[in-house]
Chain A
């Protein structure tokens, strides 16, 4: 850093910077206030009134919506599905992603074609993904059942999205198919940043491949690992598109999650107050997780630098 950099800029410059700064930041701030802050404050208001979407002066109901929230068996069921979704839907892409990334890392001439193919599902719209996987799970003509029958496992063939016991896992497999490419590509770039000299040194010192992975490689990609974990975990609380499209929360609420339950309360049952309260629950659950994991990630990053 130069000396000029440390000494404060002249007052004229600072004033000019402040003027331009305020002007440049204004459009974003107007948008944030109008389309985020105001509706956010309104969300808090809606959660304490009984609003049906029409009545301009809804009744104040205090904490009734919250009381209902904690005694609602459907909410508990939906939250349970969110938890299943988060556990399976986080662990699978992380593990598969890491394995495939290491495979790609270890091949010579790891062609860019692999990476493009693996990443492709991640950029596709959820509706398209839901439709195609609906075909794959089709009870009669579906690719999955045809494959099972061809392999002599016809007994396992079923209406994958129509049976309450398996529907959520069927949708999860779709989500894993769509999301793992993201983990693969991120892990691969982290692996390519790993200090190879350290790995080689450990090998010379007699560490086997599992030890090298556990003690040398994994600690180095840990911050990236945590980052992907945060994103998938937090996304798991607000999952909506893929479930709404593939099952609509059915059959018989079997795949209902907080997102679809909040949507149907607000927009199908016109119970705006309760729908908003459910949506607030999603935030209350996901924001602390995001902040906590982010802190951990920063802490790890700093430790690595010896700071």
Chain B
């Protein structure tokens, strides 16, 4: 019993919880062999039905994107009834989704990098470098995690405007960074706190400076944490809707999310290019998720176990 309930506090158990593939312990079911097989088949049938239900909306995006414009007009949502790249071409050129894609990258990549660097540094401090007043600072970071973005998004708008950062790339990048650092600091702190104190001490005996202990000894050991945080933060920034909606109102630096939203408002009948724009928006997310699905789920799970 202790094993599992400890999951929240014990690092080893947390790791076990964080690892979606850990073990394959399952309850054995009673009954004869035939009954067992039938039960297993039935379960898989239910699971497959649920999986189809889950994936159908995503299939609709792909299907409508790949239709000919004529077919979209007649039967926009019938699955895979014709084939053409016209919608993608239209979305890319006329729909300006190529610009939106570039803007999404210009917003997500620097803000993710900043979150990772800053959170790793602060996380290490809160885990291993005590100084007077550190606890108070840590409470401030925790407060940042608790208070919803909503509370201060309106004053932040006027603050950015008075600083000349409204509707600028640096302004939006900084806000995106700020939305991720509280969580990132918390997250990285947990990883650094798990490392044994002996490592630090023996390095000190060997004459390493504190900076060297951080960069050469400790940093290489939290690679998995940095990896999970990177994917998690990148996805959050890529998908962020409210930040560009509020702080990039002009449209010059509009990313995919708000670009897509504006497209639905302006030309709601253009279902074909809209589908293509949606696909352009979600394709990087899907590819990243499938390639790094372990890191992503791990990031989300340990993210949830933060508190």
Contacts and interface: CB of A to CB of B under 8 A. Distances in A.
B304 A290 contact: no
B92 interface: no
A306 B155 contact: no
B209 to A, nearest CB: 7
A195 B54 contact: no
Contacts of B21: 112
Contacts of A231: 304
A17 B285 contact: no
B22 A40 contact: no
Interface string A94-127: 0000001001111110101111111111111111
Interface in B43-71: 43-44, 46-47, 50-51, 54-58, 60-61, 64
A134 B275 CA distance: 12
Contact of A28 (B20, B43, B185, B260): B185
B224 interface: no
A28 B119 contact: yes
Interface residues of B, number: 120
Interface string B259-296: 01100100000010010001001100110011001001
A193 B17 contact: yes
A125 B281 contact: yes
Nearest to A46: B155
Contacts of B130: 14, 17-18, 21
Interface string A128-142: 110111111010011
Interface in A202-255: 203, 212, 219-224, 227-228, 230-231, 234, 237-238, 240-241, 245
A162 to B, nearest CB: 13
If over half of A's interface residues share one DSSP class (helix, strand or loop), that class is named, otherwise mixed; here it is: helix
A186 interface: yes
A276 to B, nearest CB: 5
B198 interface: yes
B182 interface: yes
Nearest to B163: A34
A84 interface: no
A304 to B, nearest CB: 2
A32 B140 contact: yes
Given A39-B155, A185-B301, A221-B4, A283 B148 contact: yes
Contact of A240 (B152, B210, B242, B290): B242
Top 8 nearest A-B pairs (CB, nearest first) are A304-B5, A21-B129, A35-B178, A42-B155, A18-B131, A39-B152, A125-B239, A28-B122
Given A301-B8, A304-B2, 17 more contacts: A2-B197, A25-B125, A25-B134, A29-B122, A32-B141, A119-B296, A125-B282, A127-B278, A186-B304, A190-B7, A192-B23, A195-B1, A221-B4, A234-B148, A262-B150, A272-B154, A297-B307
23 contacts: A17-B129, A17-B131, A21-B125, A32-B140, A32-B141, A32-B178, A35-B156, A36-B143, A37-B140, A121-B54, A123-B289, A126-B239, A138-B77, A185-B20, A189-B22, A192-B25, A199-B27, A200-B27, A212-B27, A220-B4, A237-B148, A276-B154, A291-B146
